[in-house]
Structure 1
Amino acid sequence: MRILVTGAAGFIGYHVAKALLEAGHAVTGFDDVNPYYDPKLKRDRLALLAPYPGFRMVEGGLEDRAAMETLFSEGRFERVVHLAAQAGVRHSIANPHAYAGSNLVGFLHVLEGCRHTGVGHLVYASSSSVYGANRKLPFSEHDNVDHPVSLYAATKKANELMAHSYAHLYRLPVTGLRFFTVYGPWGRPDMAPIKFARAILAGEPIDVYNGGNLSRDFTYVDDVVDGVVRALGHVPAAPDGPVAPDPATSPTAPYRVFNIGNSAPVPLMDFIAAIEAATGRTAKLNMLPMQPGDVANTFADVGDLAAATGFAPKVSVDEGIRRFVAWYRGYYGA
């Protein structure tokens, strides 16, 4: 199958592209390899994909309409996995304008490309951040998510609304995936696992927000990739007859939203302890108040994805952290 993976130089994108290539698909990667974080890490990921005979890489920006039209018209993709975006909750507070081009205009270009070239299924990255001010746990796709607490989250909620409009108007099958705190080898250096591992190994303090009173549904990247691939093979259909409106589905369109998480939230201090155990070092803690745009807890209800595709996360946080730290030490020579 001919599959486009946007964000192929990114953390999740690299792992998804690799899994699809190993399954025998022809994969086109698309990425602008921007300097949001060290491009060398992105280039090193791409270097691991380059030897696969089914891989082709195209560099460009989602905001470039002409480039996107060419990408889709030449690729004639059967499926699209859209993972490229301007990421980061905290970065969206400091640099809000960076999010409009990539996450809104860029997503429109992806939808238009899928529409005009007959793509059979678009799977795109949403985020657990859309749950925002929701307090009912676990977070369910069937709950409304109308109160984002960061611009990043708002752009991801907007993506879900845009996707539904295209599913309704053009019968484009679309599936949004709300990722929950993904970690593992080749992870992003702006995220907590690498920040913590680097500081702990260097004997430097780590910033711990809300006095450590946080929990996250940390999800190992291999489990996330398994969920993405399973969702890609589960093409949503429009309902056969009238159904009640539901945020996770649609009364009119081939549209679904799924959580992808470990469904087992871990207190932040336990996560830090797992890194301490894997590194053999003790963390120095710099206790700080809650960050703007952050939430205290995340917890994914993955029942819908499990029922639809058989998804079942397998990697515990202790095991995932051991694998991550082993990669970190090998890659960074720490």
Structure 2
Amino acid sequence: MYTMSGFDPSLIILVNIYADLYGDRQQTSVYNNGVMQVSVFVSVNYTGEASEDDIKRYVQDNVVIYSLNYGENVQWQKSTSDNGFHHDIDHAANKNPAVPPKMISDVRTPLYFTVPGGRAEGEHRWIAKLDGKQTNDSTPLFVKVKSFSVNKDHFEISDRASLSCAHLRVLKYKYDVFPDTQKLVKSINYKGIKFTGTGGNTWLSMAMSSKGNKLGAFIEYKETSNINIATAYRKYEQSEVERRDLGICSYKVMIRSQCLDDTLDIDSADVEGVWNEGIAMVSVHDKSIDFTCEDQDDTVLNNFNNHDFEMNDFVLQDTFGGMVEVNINWDKGDWWGIWAISSAEVIYL
């Protein structure tokens, strides 16, 4: 017996199953990227007096979503929590703002099913079952699962603002490749070196002292002001840096530059605009730039030598949860650092 104060399960009437919280849409399109969730809204009426929270809790605990295609309960991972990514390729907001909530008389309970990565492509027909009743087979929820794929030509890296030797850049999907709401959000595996000792909020992922004197960095997710790589000519101890997948510079690290602090003057509004397009990056190039390391623990001679490095195999995630691994050509076509994506593929974690 389901016990809630004043709540009687026998007074629930199962109405239908929808893809929208407010409207009557029964079609939804999703990617099989291994992260994107199908959002299902089970519609019921309650003929007595009870709180909406009690009704939703009962439905979530007892409803079954059934696949007409396979003749069994849907086997995909189920959750009562939204993972924060968009749930529909064509209706990213997943609701119809033209229909005010007060016009909806039923109670709609959300459930979320994660689409298996790389599988389940095609159209699926789902119904809801609750307490021996089911929604009509002739009005199922249609779930269209689409394959998610990328290649290097789907991406661009472009300048958005410049200050002397510092350049704010965006890494993004090219226009018209995917829906407007599908955008790159963040890197989930920063690589290189971060200068924590002076409040660095970037990950330096490329440095070339011998070919063009340039640096390339990812700005940390959603950082918008005081874009800071490092303080020029400061000798950083290992306790003042964080290294990831960087096999050089085991002792002190120093960047020589006459304009490294130009990044601090990048307008925060410009950086925020980049985050609305894709992933924020910064380039610094000037003949004065050298990335140097102390090659041994040498407190007497204190010798610093120039080093080059290029990180790659970055994993990026977009607004639909899709994850792609990309490699960057950090030196495409010129001495001073035009960048481009050289390879890209979908991955499933």
Q: Say which structure is richer in helix.
A: 1
Normalising by structure 2, we get a TM-score of 0.19
Give the number of the structure whose alpha-carbon radius of gyration is greater: 2
Q: Say which structure is richer in strand.
A: 2
Normalising by structure 1, we get a TM-score of 0.20
